[in-house]
Structure 1
Amino acid sequence: MQVFNVQGMSCGHCVKAITQAVQARDPAADVQVDLSAKTVQVQSSLPAAAVVEAIKEEGYEVSAA
């Protein structure tokens, strides 16, 4: 399980965009977004750098938690 701090998330659209961005790279990825904590948990075979890149491409600021 990888955990990331993601700034700029505020709504269901954000959740969907982040989930789809990660799953575009790994369709089997399990993505859990917590808007109030501003965290994203990802269970995936992708390296952390690939997950960060996918989320950044959606316009969010990301750092490892």
Structure 2
Amino acid sequence: MQFQIDNMTCGGCVRRVTAAVQSVDSAATVTANVGEHRVDIQSTSTQQVFLAALESVGYPAKPVV
């Protein structure tokens, strides 16, 4: 699943986003593209749990379809 995170602008942001994702699913794979403000998550967890986790750490996300 892929998300647009407009305020993900640096490596520190990527680390916080990755930590939020892995707090939900420690086995999740996170690939971030800071330039496009996108993150790709490989996981068996649902999109909703990641949206909530990202929102809670200050990185509101929108699903990319």
Q: Normalization by structure 1: what TM-score?
A: 0.93
Q: Which has the higher strand share?
A: 1
Show the counterpart of 2:21. Answer: 22
Map residues 1-65 of structure 1 onto 2, 5 A cutoff. Answer: 2-65=1-64
User: Displacement, 1:63?
Assistant: 0.6
Count of aligned positions:
64
Q: Name the amino acid aligned to 2:24.
A: R
Alignment RMSD (CA, Å): 0.7
Structure 2, unmatched stretches of 5+, are none
What stretches of structure 1 move > 3 A for 4+ residues in a row? none
SS of 1:18 mapped into structure 2 = helix
Q: Once the two structures are superposed, what CA deviation does each residue of 1:12-40 show, in whole Å capped at 9, x if it has no partner?
A: 11000000111011000001111001101
- Give me the TM-score of the superposition, normalised by structure 2: 0.93
Q: Report the CA distance between 1:61 and its aligned residue.
A: 2.4
- SS of residue paired to 1:7: coil
In the alignment, the residues of structure 1 paired with residue 13 and residue 39 of structure 2 have an alpha-carbon distance, to the nearest angstrom, of 11
